[in-house]
Amino acid sequence: MPFDTDQPPFHFRQGSRPLLISMPHVGTYLPPCVHARLTDEARQTPDTDWHLERLYDFADALGASVLVATHSRYVIDLNRPPDDSSLYPGQSVTGLCPVDSFDDTPLYRSPDLQPDAAEVQDRRAAIWQPYHNQLAAELDRLRQQHGCAALWDAHSIRSVLPRFFEGRLPDLNLGTADGQSCAPALAERLLDIARQAPGYSSVLNGRFKGGYITRRYGQPERGVHAVQLEMTQCSYMQEAPPFGYLPDVAAQVQPHLRRMVQTMLAFVEARPIPTKGLDRPDPA
């Protein structure tokens, strides 16, 4: 039985240059079949990557393609492997169809309301797979048209989350799957920009090394360079309800964010590679 949702799995805008910005955790929609089973707290979707479309409002001017999730990560997490294997073995993580929050509290009002294996598969078919099909197709189009592609996976998170890390998280967390998802020279350029941003702390491949999207689609040998940026939400918004966007605060970090994205785009445009004979990556 297909998963019952009345919203598309994503919104997509196609750009003119070899850059795709992916926002897999900005969605807040909870279909009625999920909403009715969640706790009051979970229905507020507090673990959303809030306001990233507004923060990246320069994307269209750069000629970027933009892929934006619609459904909450509580429905299905688009940045997790389809088999629900752990991205960080031995560390606390949330799953493909999460049953607990970042604060380690239950999402469902009782355990018997959690999705079973069949429902997880239905959610994957209805939401996860279309998102990844679009992501893979757009990267392939960019690579075929331009000879290269840049994938910027945009995320944000509360700056203090004891479940996942000790103390306060650095503000700008760049992830390249320990150097596997993009050229090392690109990663160093991005880190230099982050380090030069006054008032912001930064790290490369620290607690967040890139999720499934970065690890799966970053293939620099094929001309596809992928980077994840996990930002602290206090860099641009309120970290507590009502999770409001703070324009004056956001305006301080946006120039550095834009510079990083522009640098990545310039890097790949300067290094096109032949596409003949290279297969399209499998999104699953």
pTM for the model: 0.95
User: In one letter, which amino acid is 20?
Assistant: L
User: What is the mean predicted confidence (pLDDT) over 70-87?
Assistant: 95
Residue 2: per-residue pLDDT: 75
Q: How large a percentage of the chain has pLDDT more than 70?
A: 96
Q: Which amino acid does the sequence have at 84?
A: D
Helix (H, G, I), strand (E, B) or coil at 87: coil
Asked if residue 281 has pLDDT above 70, the reply is: no
pLDDT at 277: 43
User: pLDDT tier at 278 (50, 70, 90 boundaries)?
Assistant: very low
Does residue 93 register a pLDDT over 90?
A: no
Taking residues 246-253, what's their average pLDDT? 98
- What's the pLDDT tens digit per position in 11-50? 999 999 999 999 999 999 999 999 999 999 999 999 999 9
Taking residue 162's Cβ as centre, other Cβ atoms within 10 Å add up to 11
Model confidence at 86, pLDDT cuts 50, 70, 90, reads confident
Domains of the chain in sequence order = 10-269 (3.40.630.40)
- pLDDT (average), residues 250-278: 89
- Of 60, 71, 73, 78, nearest to 20 by C-alpha is 60
